[in-house]
Structure 1
Amino acid sequence: MGTRLSDRCRRLPPACFAPVMATGIVSRALGQAGAHAVSGVLFGLAAALYLPLLAAAGVKTAVHREAVRAELRDPGLLFGHYTLVAASGVLATRLTGGPARIAGWALLALAVVVWAGLARAAARLRRAGPEAVPRRADGSWFLATVGLQAIVLTLTGLAPTRPGLAVALVLWAAGLPLYAGTLALVLRRLRRHPPRPAQALPSYWVTMGAAAISTLAGARLLEHEELLPGPARGLVGGTVLALWVWATVLFPPLAAAGVWRHLRHRVPFAHEPALWCVVFPLGMYATATAQLAGEHRIDAGAVPHGLPAWLALSAWLAVGTRRLTDRTAGGAAL
């Protein structure tokens, strides 16, 4: 039994925390839309899924070190590990009050350590193949930005003081060139090596998710703008609105790519872990939009109240149902 459990931990995919980050942010979006009961259920589900995954990831790291090292040397797999950072941050943002703050700080510490380690591995990757590595750039690379901005969100919740917000502001600003650089690499790859329909993975939706979480992190900073340096306030405010517009603009082409993949080229709509990378951006966009509307930074009538949150929940249900259907079919086939 121990050997079987160890083998299952070894086969754990790098992006295994994607369902947690997707479920956690949809929970938050629904809470902002007023569906507090459903929000609570989803948050509990995300937390319940996070703990065994964290234990399994710990076993994999401790027992199967060579397998982990191989993933960190693979540009197609390394960035999936940032889902642990994002999932930790998304959960920690809900644990900023009362005794739960201790768990929030623990999750923040874990997120910072993992993000730093992965950034170091990514830097080594770049030095090892300065020309070959960018050819593997895809939507999962934006998870590095998502992870960094998840740390910013957690900081603004746990340490809304002048020193804490100063650190958060620096990290948020650092995430912007990281996003822009990743976007340049992905667009270059798409232009020079266009993916075939089967390779047009849903992970490209993280392009929108990274913009949306950058929007939300900036908006959370602006909640405490009296503690921010004077020159930074207007700059952050303008950048946040530009990021929200960019995330909005990305939605139609990403949806069209899905139609092109599944309807035009009839790629089967089977469950794949990358599908959670569609749910997360929708939930993050819903959360960021509600935040900006609540602060009157965008016209609340521009997006019907709660609609993005319920759209995110619909996507969550679709992916979850597809997962259960495929598992049931697989069990029946066995």
Structure 2
Amino acid sequence: MGNLLKHTVFNLFSGYFSVVMATGALSIALHLLGMHSIAQGLLYVNIGVYLILWILTILRLVYFSSRVLIDITSHSNGPGFFTLVAGTCVFGSQLIIITENSQLASYLWGLGIVLWLTIMYIFFTAVTIRKDKPVLSEGINGAWLIAAVATQSISVLGTLLSDRVQNGQQIILFFTLCMFLLGCMLYLNIITLIFYRFTFLELKHDALTPPYWINMGAVAITTLAGSTLLLHAENWPLLVELTPFIKGFTLFFWITGTWWIPLLFMLMIWRHFYHRYSLKYDPQFWGMAFPLAMYTTSTFQLSKALQLPFLIIIPKIMVFISILAWLAIFTGMLHHLYTSYRKYRAI
């Protein structure tokens, strides 16, 4: 293994599958808004990124398994592994919506469920039983909410697959409804700690990392999960009975996400412009690109699920903000990879 590849694999950011999440969410948003060519192009990008990240991840598991174990049981790095689940399921949703490839999407859904079970219980068991726990201000961050994102991504993909199977449709919808509710529970539990961290403990500007945008991204994908269930409610009588509850809960999470957006932009200005914190590329910036794209997608689907066509104006504006964010971060990533290559080639 070459020095550059070895260095890359050893130091692979645990949350790098957020690239797949952000690209998939933006591609779906563009497709729903009628920009099919760009959406298709992003699908090809996502196929390449997804395969490359899995190759690097498998190499890391093979050659640096002890490092992986340290990371996945860490309060700070462990939550990033949930991006494997969310990235896999968002990619599967992208395949269904853009190409209608339900067979491959079903395999990805199965993989997502296995990953969810593995990471969920390894991480939460490890952080529960460990003796040397960090204080709240050091141990909690926005990345913890990716646990909720991963759970909701399984709900979304499963619900999309439910009307493409001949047997077991009600079982799938029951499972995806349960995952939707479980994702809601995880968000409400974790966001309480984060909100307490924001408002009652000192928050230095260098600690306000991009994953805090998942505060909004987690409720955006929760909105999408609820909206997707509502759009498939006619397939199961129980969902019809629960429609008023799901509508209210979904709208509750959408307005929560909407509330977060101005605050997060103001905090970003405070960090990068008032304190002049560097804007150089950091893989954590994908934690900002995903929420923006997911909010665009979820608002579009919410407008259909609640039959509120006036809401369409929001995704029509937000999609351009999402594109700019994705382009800026993707360009930064390519520049970072190029400079890293030149650096190690010179050694």
Task: Call closer, same or farther: CA 1:188–1:128 in 2, change over 3 Å.
Answer: farther
Partner of 1:127: 129
Partner of 2:185: 177
Residue 3 of structure 1 and its aligned partner are, at CA, apart by 7.2
| Worse-matched range after superposition: 139-148 or 119-128 | 119-128
Q: 1:273 aligns with which of 275, 280, 283?
A: 283
Q: Which letter does structure 2 place at the counterpart of 1:214? A: T
Residue 14 of structure 1 and its aligned partner are, at CA, apart by 0.5
Q: Distance in 1 between matches of 2:28 and 2:147?
A: 21
| Worse-matched range after superposition: 231-240 or 144-153 | 231-240
Partner of 2:172: 164
Task: Call closer, same or farther: CA 1:268–1:127 in 2, change over 3 Å.
Answer: same
Residue 309 of structure 1 and its aligned partner are, at CA, apart by 1.5
| Worse-matched range after superposition: 96-105 or 283-292 | 96-105
1:154 aligns with 2:164: no
Residue 292 of structure 1 and its aligned partner are, at CA, apart by 1.6
Residue 314 of structure 1 and its aligned partner are, at CA, apart by 1.1
Q: Distance in 2 between matches of 1:32 and 1:260?
A: 34
1:258-291 per-residue CA deviation (whole Å, 9 max, x = no partner) reads 0000110000111111111111001000001111
Q: Percent identity?
A: 27
1:222 aligns with 2:225: no
Partner of 2:13: 13
Q: 1:209 aligns with which of 207, 212, 217?
A: 217
Q: Is the 8 A contact 1:152 1:217 kept in 2?
A: yes
Q: Distance in 2 between matches of 1:55 and 1:204?
A: 28
Task: Call closer, same or farther: CA 1:128–1:301 in 2, change over 3 Å.
Answer: closer
Task: Call closer, same or farther: CA 1:301–1:224 in 2, change over 3 Å.
Answer: closer
Q: Which letter does structure 1 place at the counterpart of 2:220? A: A
Partner of 2:166: none
Partner of 1:145: 148
Q: Distance in 2 between matches of 1:114 and 1:302?
A: 34
1:124-178 per-residue CA deviation (whole Å, 9 max, x = no partner) reads 2123259636441100000000001000011011123222111100110111111
Partner of 1:113: 114
Q: Which letter does structure 1 place at the counterpart of 2:107? A: A
1:4-37 per-residue CA deviation (whole Å, 9 max, x = no partner) reads 6455322211011111111111111111111100
Q: Distance in 2 between matches of 1:222 and 1:252?
A: 28
Task: Call closer, same or farther: CA 1:189–1:177 in 2, change over 3 Å.
Answer: same
Q: Distance in 2 between matches of 1:321 and 1:96?
A: 27
Alignment of 1:195-274 (within 5 A): 195-226=203-234, 227-229=236-238, 230-274=240-284
Q: Distance in 1 between matches of 2:312 and 2:36?
A: 23
**Unpaired segments ≥5 residues, structure 1:** none
Residue 320 of structure 1 and its aligned partner are, at CA, apart by 1.6
Q: Which letter does structure 1 place at the counterpart of 2:285? A: L
Task: Call closer, same or farther: CA 1:55–1:119 in 2, change over 3 Å.
Answer: same
Q: Which letter does structure 1 place at the counterpart of 2:109? A: L
Q: Which letter does structure 2 place at the counterpart of 1:279? A: A
Q: Is the 8 A contact 1:138 1:204 kept in 2?
A: yes
Query: What root-mean-square deviation, in Å, do the aligned CA atoms of Structure 1 and Structure 2 show?
Result: 2.2
Task: Call closer, same or farther: CA 1:100–1:193 in 2, change over 3 Å.
Answer: same
Q: How many residues align?
A: 334
Q: Which letter does structure 1 place at the counterpart of 2:209? A: L
Q: Distance in 1 between matches of 2:294 and 2:287?
A: 11
Q: Distance in 2 between matches of 1:257 and 1:270?
A: 17
* Secondary structure, aligned partner of 1:34: coil
Q: Distance in 2 between matches of 1:109 and 1:134?
A: 34
Residue 117 of structure 1 and its aligned partner are, at CA, apart by 1.3
Q: Is the 8 A contact 1:30 1:310 kept in 2?
A: no
Residue 43 of structure 1 and its aligned partner are, at CA, apart by 1.1
